[in-house]
Structure 1
Amino acid sequence: MAALSRASRIRNPALFICDIQEKFRGIYEFPKLISTTSKMLRAASNLQMPVYITTQNRAKLGNTVSELQPHLVGPHIRADIDKTLFSMITPEIEAKLPSDLDVIIVGIETHICVTQTTLDLLARGHRVYILADGVSSMNPEERGIALSRLRDAGAIVTSSESVLFEILRDANHEQFRAVSGLVKETKEDTKGALGAFSKI
């Protein structure tokens, strides 16, 4: 696959939900991570955007958290895979992953599973968008170090609201009302998440 320009617009988005599990509730600003992820999952449903979900060793660390479970149904959910690899790019995910997807990532931990997933996606020629208001680590200082490294590696670090409006492109989009309404509904949660997470 030809190298993709980081300056290009998002074109064929998919959402990756990385290891947002019950045993990780002690992660830095976990409730804000949940609010951003919930918003993205609701938008993905409206937009019928493919969603890929992983858990890390589910038997020990628990399922994807209960707050997100209502949003993990529908034909746009392409995979819900348990793994031991730190990267989400398991053989099962790779088999379901079209080569032309631009991947949006939320989840934990920024410096471990999010980092390794991003590096594997970039190596396979995907453009990767990491939502600064949607990734966290146990130690908050790890986030900035990881995001700087991933930006240098070729990932795009952006925000949930920015990427949603980039996907819409036009106020005439058939899902504009639904997604812009969701953005308005969650504006205080988004403001809180950006306040906590934008210092990178």
Structure 2
Amino acid sequence: MAGIGRLSTQSTVLLLCDMQEKLRPTTFHFTNIVSNAARLLQACRILGIPPILTEQYPKGLGPTVSELGAEGLKPHPKTRFSMVIDSVENELKSLGNPKRAILCGIEAQACIACTTYDLLEKGMEVHIVADAVSSRSQADRLFALSRLKQSGAFLNTTEGVILQLLQDASHPNFKQVQKLLTHPSPDTGLLAFFSSL
């Protein structure tokens, strides 16, 4: 059934947007956002979902932070706010043009928003992991999430995404992925957003 936002490991890609060293001191709940994104990356690697990593102007903003656990991924450097640059489009083509993107990173009102609009215009389903997305300002973050929901993106949480990808406790990788969910996701200040819905 189209339009309900059901996640699947098939034809899905994980997009990791600009979680870089120089953004650490200024981004709201940076440590917890990256922790959630790292769990998503681990789960997607176990489940065979390919990840794509970008870095915004790495010369100025530094490399991807080590705690993301993105070793082995070659980052796509960019200056555009959207992740949908030529090299990323080429990687998407090489992956068979996935139908769904799971999107996390920084910043909600800029690179996450522009990436979402580009992907939606390409006909892709976009799943934004709200507790793995942030901004320098909580107001910008929450208004961006609300705006992106209006545009047709699906909002979810780290644990929600991981469990929906598994779909069944009999999944052969369930026990391995379940270990990632031993502790609840850390608080990232989203209650204000949901109380306004």
TM-score (norm 2): 0.89
Question: Equivalents in 2 of 1:71, 1:96: separation in Å?
Answer: 17
The equivalent residue for 1:19 is 18
Shift of 1:67: 1.4
How far has the Cα of 1:9 moved from its partner? 1.1
Q: Across the two proteins, how many residue pairs are aligned to each other?
A: 187
What is the CA-CA distance between 1:192 and the residue it aligns to?
2.2
CA 1:191/1:58 → structure 2, altered by over 3 Å: closer, same or farther? closer
- The residue type paired with residue 19 of structure 1 is D
Q: In the TM superposition, what whole-angstrom CA distance separates every residue of 1:64-114 from its partner, at most 9, and x where no partner exists?
A: 01212x4432xxx5x520001110000110111132331111100000000
Q: CA deviation at 1:130?
A: 0.4
Secondary structure of 2:83 counterpart: coil
Where does residue 72 of structure 1 map in the other structure?
71
Kept after mapping to 1: 8 A contact 2:18/2:105: yes
**3-state SS of paired residue (1:142):** helix
Structure 1 gap segments, 5+ residues each: none
Distance (Å, rounded) in 2 between the aligned partners of 1:31 and 1:174: 31
- Letter matched to residue 34 of structure 2: I
Matched-pair contact (CA < 8 Å) for 2:32–2:186: no
Which residue of 135, 152, 176 corresponds with 1:154?
Answer: 152
Letter of the 1:197 partner, please give it. L
One-letter amino acid of the counterpart of residue 9, structure 1: R
The residue type paired with residue 6 of structure 2 is R
Q: Could you tell me which amino acid in structure 1 is paired with residue 7 of structure 2?
A: I
TM-score, normalising length from structure 1? 0.88
Unaligned stretches of 5+ residues in structure 2:
none
In 1, are the aligned partners of 2:12 and 2:98 still within 8 Å (CA)?
no
Residue 171 (structure 1) aligns with: 169
Aligned mate of 1:6, from 3, 28, 33: 3
- The aligned residue for residue 114 of structure 1 is 112
| Contact 2:100–2:124, Cα closer than 8 Å, also in 1 | yes
Q: 2:136 aligns with which of 131, 135, 138?
A: 138
- Are residue 86 (structure 1) and residue 86 (structure 2) matched? no
Partner of 2:132, secondary structure, is strand
Q: Distance in 2 between matches of 1:71 and 1:199?
A: 31
Shift of 1:191: 4.0
**Which stretch has the larger CA shift, 154-163 or 40-49?**
40-49
Partners of 2:109 and 2:5 lie apart in 1 by: 25
Residues of 1 paired with 2:65 and 2:125: CA distance? 27
8 Å contact from structure 1 (residues 102, 129) kept in 2: yes
